[in-house]
């Protein structure tokens, strides 16, 4: 990371117009819905576990089913989004995950919940390939991480809003958990209609001023138009991203699916009833997501290289996860909440930054597939984490010490792997790959 300062870019246009931030707003809403749908089961796990007699291993198997479908779904959805574009590709993803979400309301056994999670996971795998592909179409390199940071922050808004959403349906309206899954599925239908109505690329939108379009498109022309799967899997740059996701995504899945159970078993607190702990933790993670994206974007705007800006931001984010070492066994719940919140902020800062890396190195028409490969590897890591967590908790009578300790090391290993595989984060070049005509 010694090449810290990049040469200034001549002829950079002024940032005229802000319609591109409307797209960020739309993706923010979509991310919120996506995470409400995937988080509801985690908050209901104590209730369903008691009602349906689940063991820790049963719940681990249900979570693992989601992770498996989510992992393999990334490969399919990434290709689909590169093939048909984010407008059509994401529409398919929303449709599939909404069907899976509603199916939870009809499940009764561990197997049927696993099936519902599989459908949900397949559809939700299309979310982040769509987000990054859309961001690469609507934002230049020096602004892209900041935009992704805002969208990524909605993951925690979705988690925060899950409990109030469930309270509204289950307490205010008096519905059971089955009806709640079914009725909240209507939000996915509204999102689908909104996406099809609003989204298009900048040149076709009719809403972008010439000045804003010049800002969006002012990066140097891509030397390669597209890269197929056969080439992507041979590129060290693709595996740099994929290994980073394999190592770090499981930490977020752990927090998403197991935190409610952790607070229920350690502090006898039901997070769907006592909302303040969840709000504190996830608002801190929101701040981390936005700050992480802002930091690397700001460093690039100040003249630092993309390589330096992305990697130094990820290293700083990894340091923020270290407080997780001190959480397990802590008697003071509020101090534990702050430390977990700081760790979540570190993860989200890392996530916003690493999601910006594929468009740095690959052409737009390959970004979805590269994100898909990374998401697949992250899902595999999540499966390993889910199964391991269930087994460790059963073996240690619910002790999270080993699990939290493992989470603090993976970010530094990820940065090391990324640096070894892509020392400069340079754009992929290959004369044999469908070069753009001069």
- Inter-residue contact 355 to 148 (CB < 8 Å): yes
Q: Which residues contact 304 (CB under 8 A, 6 or more apart)?
A: 4, 5, 6
CATH number of 20-421: 1.20.1250.20
Q: Which residues contact 382 (CB under 8 A, 6 or more apart)?
A: 67, 70, 71, 249, 250, 253
pLDDT for position 126: 95
Name beta bridge partners: 435. Answer: 224
| pTM for the full predicted model | 0.83
Name beta bridge partners: 224. Answer: 435
pLDDT for position 434: 46
**319/191 Cα distance (integer angstroms):** 37
Q: How far is CA 332 from CA 65, 276, 335, in A?
A: 34, 15, 6
Name beta bridge partners: 304. Answer: 5
Return the closest-CA partner of residue 130 out of 71, 199, 185: 199
pLDDT for position 194: 95
DSSP, collapsed to helix, strand or coil, labels residue 5 as strand
Tokens 């290959």 map to which residue?
430
Identify the sign of the CA torsion 19, 21, 24, 29: negative
Tokens 């002790």 map to which residue?
399
Q: How far is CA 293 from CA 13, 88, 228, 421, in A?
A: 22, 27, 28, 22
DSSP, collapsed to helix, strand or coil, labels residue 435 as strand
Please state the domain extents for the chain: 20-421
- Burial label for 195, CB within 10 Å (0-12, 13-18, 19+), is buried
**48/101 Cα distance (integer angstroms):** 16
**353/357 Cα distance (integer angstroms):** 7
**160/353 Cα distance (integer angstroms):** 22
pLDDT for position 13: 61
DSSP class of residue 172? I
Spell out the per-residue pLDDT of the chain, length 438, in tens: 545 554 444 455 665 678 899 999 999 999 999 999 988 988 788 788 778 888 777 887 888 888 789 889 999 999 999 889 999 999 999 999 999 999 999 988 889 999 999 999 999 999 999 999 999 999 998 899 999 999 999 988 988 888 889 889 998 888 888 899 999 999 999 999 999 999 998 988 888 988 988 988 887 776 666 677 888 899 999 999 999 999 999 998 888 778 877 888 888 887 766 778 888 998 999 999 999 999 999 999 999 999 999 999 999 999 999 999 999 888 999 999 999 999 999 999 999 999 999 999 998 888 989 999 999 999 888 878 877 887 888 888 878 889 999 999 999 999 999 999 999 999 887 644 444 443
Return the closest-CA partner of residue 285 out of 154, 105, 432, 108: 154
- Inter-residue contact 197 to 113 (CB < 8 Å): no
């Amino acid at each position: 990371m010694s090449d810290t300062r990049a040469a200034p870019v001549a002829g950079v246009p002024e940032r005229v117009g802000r319609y591109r931030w409307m797209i960020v707003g739309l993706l923010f809403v979509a991310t919120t819905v996506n995470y409400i749908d995937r988080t509801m089961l985690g908050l209901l796990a104590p209730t369903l576990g008691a009602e349906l007699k689940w063991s820790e291993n049963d719940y681990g198997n249900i979570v693992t089913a989601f992770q498996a479908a989510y992992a393999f779904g990334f490969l399919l959805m990434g290709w689909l989004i590169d093939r048909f574009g984010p407008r059509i590709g994401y529409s398919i993803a929303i449709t599939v995950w909404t069907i899976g979400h509603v199916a939870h309301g009809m499940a009764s056994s561990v197997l049927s919940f696993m099936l519902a999670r599989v459908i949900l996971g397949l559809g939700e795998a299309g979310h982040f390939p769509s987000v990054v592909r859309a961001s690469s179409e609507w934002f230049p390199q020096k602004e892209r991480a900041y935009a992704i940071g805002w969208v990524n922050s909605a993951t925690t808004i979705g988690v925060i809003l899950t409990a109030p959403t469930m309270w509204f349906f289950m307490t205010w309206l008096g519905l059971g958990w089955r009806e709640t899954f079914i009725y909240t599925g209507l939000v996915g239908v509204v999102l689908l209609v909104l996406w099809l109505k609003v989204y298009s690329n900048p040149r076709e939108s009719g809403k972008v001023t010439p000045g804003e379009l010049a800002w969006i498109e002012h990066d140097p022309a891509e030397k390669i138009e597209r890269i197929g799967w056969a080439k992507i899997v041979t590129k060290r740059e693709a595996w740099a991203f994929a290994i980073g996701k394999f190592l770090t995504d499981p930490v977020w899945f752990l927090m998403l699916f197991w935190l409610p159970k952790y607070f229920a078993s350690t502090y006898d607190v039901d997070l769907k009833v006592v909302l303040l702990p969840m709000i504190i933790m996830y608002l801190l993670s929101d701040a981390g997501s936005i700050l992480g994206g802002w930091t690397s974007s700001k460093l690039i705007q100040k003249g630092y290289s993309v390589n330096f800006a992305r990697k130094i931001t990820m290293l700083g984010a990894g340091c923020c996860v270290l407080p997780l070492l001190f959480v397990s066994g802590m008697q003071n719940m509020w101090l534990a909440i702050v430390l977990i919140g700081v760790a979540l902020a570190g993860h989200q800062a890392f996530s916003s930054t690493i999601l910006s890396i594929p468009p740095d190195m690959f052409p737009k028409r390959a970004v979805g597939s590269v994100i898909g490969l990374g998401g697949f590897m992250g899902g595999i890591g999540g499966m390993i984490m889910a199964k391991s967590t269930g087994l460790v908790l059963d073996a240690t009578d619910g002790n999270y010490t080993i699990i939290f300790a493992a989470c603090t090391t993976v970010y530094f290993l990820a940065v090391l792997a990324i640096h070894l595989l892509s020392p400069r984060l340079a754009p992929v070049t290959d004369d044999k790959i469908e070069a753009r005509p001069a």
